[in-house]
């Protein structure tokens, strides 16, 4: 696991957007796994700016979802399909044909989970998977004590996660669904390059446990320690409880430029 400490969220977004641009230059039809929420917005904004300027060609890129609420219609403004189309697909100048995600409104949700896991494999696998982290250490919607071998499946959200997400539903927790479809931890670990971005002091404890704690299902993000090419990008506030912060800064400063992110 590589840990990169950046000054702020904007710097983190720019760094990761550069890594995506480099990937697309090597593999124009790369499958990019995207996360939702406020944390990854600087990535999408920086990447869209590079596309507009001509620095990055994303015309053949493919986009896939990390997770989706169960029970919200696809056209609901807070369904993750709508969010991804609005914040990623449209700003990059892509069409819906480039996008794939699980069906959270399916009558048979279990079958929809299996179908999405299969679809990712049939698409050649995810080349780069963007991740956020919850205050309890969850990635995707793999809540604490999720199996580290889990596949795409339905999960019940914790009360804390519903409280955290209420801000997207007019601060009305009653509107936040209780269930989601999420890529499992095992599914996420099959991506070729997972990149986790964490910003803000509120994520500092979760980041420290993820990076420096033991691999444990109670901190789902800690499973990234098992991946041969996982990157964790954190701002100074989110890095504030890392005991090895100085070491991470030194190793990144000495990293050869040809290695990339």
Give the contacts of 236 (CB within 8 A, at least 6 positions apart): 5, 6, 7, 8
Catalytic residue among 143, 164, 193, 235: 143
Rounded distance between C-alpha atoms, residue 81 and residue 212, angstroms: 34
Catalytic residue among 68, 127, 138, 235: 138
Task: Respond yes or no: is residue 57 known to be catalytic.
Answer: no
C-alpha 54: how far from its chain's center? 25
Pairing mode of beta strands 62-65, 99-100: parallel
Catalytic residue among 67, 68, 103, 117: 67
Q: Report residue 207 as tokens.
A: 């980041």
Task: Respond yes or no: is residue 67 known to be catalytic.
Answer: yes
Rounded distance between C-alpha atoms, residue 74 and residue 37, angstroms: 17
Backbone angles phi, psi at 65, to 5 degrees: -80, 150
Task: Respond yes or no: is residue 143 known to be catalytic.
Answer: yes
Q: What does each C-alpha distance from 42 to 36, 37, 48, 49 come to in angstroms? A: 12, 11, 10, 11
Task: Respond yes or no: is residue 212 known to be catalytic.
Answer: no
Say which residue the tokens 């990712």 belong to: 120
Choose among 235, 252, 244: nearest CA to 208.
244
Catalytic residue among 14, 68, 103, 136: 136
| Strand, coil or helix: 34 | strand
Sheet holding 153-156, edge to edge: 67-69, 179-182, 153-156
Rounded distance between C-alpha atoms, residue 100 and residue 133, angstroms: 22
Catalytic residues, by residue number, are 67, 136, 138, 143
């Amino acid at each position: 696991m590589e840990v990169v400490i950046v000054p702020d969220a904007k710097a983190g977004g720019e760094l990761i957007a550069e890594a995506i641009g480099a990937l697309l230059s090597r593999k124009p039809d790369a499958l990019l796994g995207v996360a939702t929420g406020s944390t990854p917005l600087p990535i999408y904004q920086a990447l869209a700016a590079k596309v507009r300027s001509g620095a990055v060609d994303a015309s053949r890129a493919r986009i896939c979802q990390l997770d989706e609420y169960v029970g919200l219609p696809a056209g609901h403004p807070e369904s993750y399909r709508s969010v991804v189309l609005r914040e990623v697909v449209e700003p990059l100048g892509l069409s819906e044909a480039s996008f794939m995600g699980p069906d959270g409104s399916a009558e048979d949700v279990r079958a929809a989970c299996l179908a999405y896991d299969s679809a990712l494999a049939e698409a050649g696998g995810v080349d780069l998977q963007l991740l956020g982290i919850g205050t309890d250490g969850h990635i995707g919607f793999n809540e604490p004590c999720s199996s580290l071998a889990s596949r795409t499946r339905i999960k019940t959200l914790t009360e804390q996660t519903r409280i955290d997400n209420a801000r997207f539903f007019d601060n009305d927790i009653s509107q936040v669904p209780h269930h989601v479809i999420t890529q499992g931890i095992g599914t996420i670990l099959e991506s070729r390059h997972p990149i986790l971005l964490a910003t803000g002091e509120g994520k500092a404890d979760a980041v420290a446990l993820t990076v420096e704690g033991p691999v444990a299902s109670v901190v789902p993000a800690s499973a990234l320690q098992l991946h041969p090419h996982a990157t964790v990008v954190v701002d100074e506030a989110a890095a504030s409880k890392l005991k090895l912060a100085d070491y991470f800064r030194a190793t990144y400063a000495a990293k050869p430029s040809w290695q990339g992110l």
